[in-house]
Amino acid sequence: MTHWRKQQQQDQFFRRAKDEGYRARSAYKLLQIQNKFHIIKRGDVVVDLGAAPGSWSQAVKKLVGHQGRIIALDIQAMEPIPGVLCLQGDMTMPEIQAQIIEASGGQVNIVLSDAAPSTTGIKLRDHVLSIELGYAALAVAKCLLRPGGNLVIKVFNGEDLPALIHEVKLAFHPVKLHKPEASRKESWEQFIVAQGYKGGSGVRN
């Protein structure tokens, strides 16, 4: 057995995901963000970007209940999830953004982005690509969110992160940077948790 596989089997969140039917341990990152910030309510309309393999959408489905709606998007094909509309495409493409807008039927309450680039092992490159995805998620959120809506973006830490946080703060208040317990200690991922969308006003905090 490889060292990585042994670590995975010993990981409490990996084991819980298997026991509780989640497709990946990342579900607990979102659930821990939810427990701290209370960003998702029953009946919310949620867009889940970078959704594959679908664990965040599975967690969201339990949070929003039968009255909520979830649109999950990923560049890869996803196995269907009951009660979730799954789309395939690149969220940075205008035609894909138009599909999300059409599928949502109007403004949404939450935009989530667990999107990450295909990592190269070159830390600076991976960071830059992650920040680009962060800006793309912010752009989608500005198109979709109703005033007061919330946004969560996964990012890789690095020198360009403060500039992205600044842009998020122009459109949301409050904005926090958070690393949930379920993120591995060695991981350099963090989550921008942005609440209270200002509705495109661009008013500075």
Following DSSP, what letter does each residue of 32-46 receive, concatenated? HHHHHH----TT-EE
Strand partners, 189: 156
Residue holding tokens 């490889």?
A: 2
How many other CB atoms are there within 10 angstroms of residue 126's CB atom? 18
**What pLDDT, on a 0 to 100 scale, did the predictor assign at position 172?**
98
**What pLDDT, on a 0 to 100 scale, did the predictor assign at position 183?**
85
- Residue 54 Rama label (left phi>0; alpha psi -120 to 50; beta): left
Which residues have CB under 8 Å from 174's CB, separation 6+? 194, 195, 196
Domains of the chain: 26-194 (3.40.50.150)
Rounded Cα distance, 149 and 58, in Å: 20
* Count of residues making up the chain: 205
Contact assessment for residue 28 and residue 55, using Cβ atoms and an 8 Å cutoff: no
Q: Per-residue pLDDT for the chain (205 aa), expressed as one digit of tens each?
A: 454 454 554 477 566 656 555 656 788 999 999 999 999 999 999 999 999 999 999 999 999 999 999 999 999 999 999 999 999 999 888 888 888 888 888 789 999 999 988 778 888 899 999 999 999 999 999 988 999 999 999 999 999 999 999 999 999 999 999 999 988 777 889 999 999 999 864 333 3
Query: 170 is written with which tokens?
Result: 């122009």
Q: Which of the 8 DSSP states describes residue 157?
A: -
- Residue 148 Rama label (left phi>0; alpha psi -120 to 50; beta): left
State CA 37 to chain mean position distance. 14
Strand partners, 193: 152, 176
Angle at 88 between CA 82 and CA 91, to 5 degrees: 120
Predicted structure pTM score: 0.87
**What pLDDT, on a 0 to 100 scale, did the predictor assign at position 21?**
54
Considering only CA atoms, which of 53, 65, 168 is closest in space to residue 116? 53
Which residues have CB under 8 Å from 119's CB, separation 6+? 126
Q: Is 176 a catalytic residue?
A: no
Task: Give the relative orientation of helices 94-104 and 123-144 as an angle to the nearest 10 degrees.
Answer: 40
Q: Which of 154, 176, 179, 198 is catalytic?
A: 154
